């Protein structure tokens, strides 16, 4: 299962998805729209993507 780093959609069939390679890593997108957004803001989406697995931490965040 891959996640679209832009809209966070779960991509069940990546064969049909748009893809982009950044630093040798492949990313998949639900649509060309998401891919273009990603390619135009790669650093932004990649820094957000780092927080993907950290939902627990997000819940525990307090200011
Ligand atoms: Zn998308």
The domain locations on the chain are: 2-52
Ligand 1 centroid to Cα of residue 34, in Å, is 5
**Which residues make beta-bridge pairs with 14?**
none
pLDDT digits (tens, 9 = 90+) for 3-57: 999 999 999 999 999 999 999 999 999 999 999 999 999 999 988 655 555 444 4
Per-residue tokens: 63: 């200011």
pTM, two decimal places: 0.72
**Nearest CA among 18, 11, 55 for reference residue 39:** 18
Q: Distance from the CA of 54 to the center of ligand 1, in angstroms?
A: 20
Rounded to the nearest whole angstrom, what is the distance from the C-alpha of residue 62 to the centroid of ligand 1?
A: 29
Residue 52 has a pLDDT of 54
With contact defined as beta carbons under 8 Å apart, do 9 and 26 qualify?
Answer: no
> How far is residue 11 from each of residues 6, 23, 58, measured CA to CA in Å?
12, 21, 23
pLDDT at 62 over 80: no
On whether the CB atoms of residues 26 and 19 are closer than 8 A, the answer is yes
């Amino acid at each position: 299962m891959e996640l679209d780093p832009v809209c966070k959609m779960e991509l069940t069939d990546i064969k049909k998805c748009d893809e982009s390679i950044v630093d040798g890593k492949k990313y998949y997108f639900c649509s060309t729209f998401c891919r273009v957004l990603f390619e135009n803001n790669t650093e932004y989406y990649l820094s957000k993507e780092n927080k993907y697995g950290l939902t627990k931490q997000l819940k525990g965040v307090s200011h």
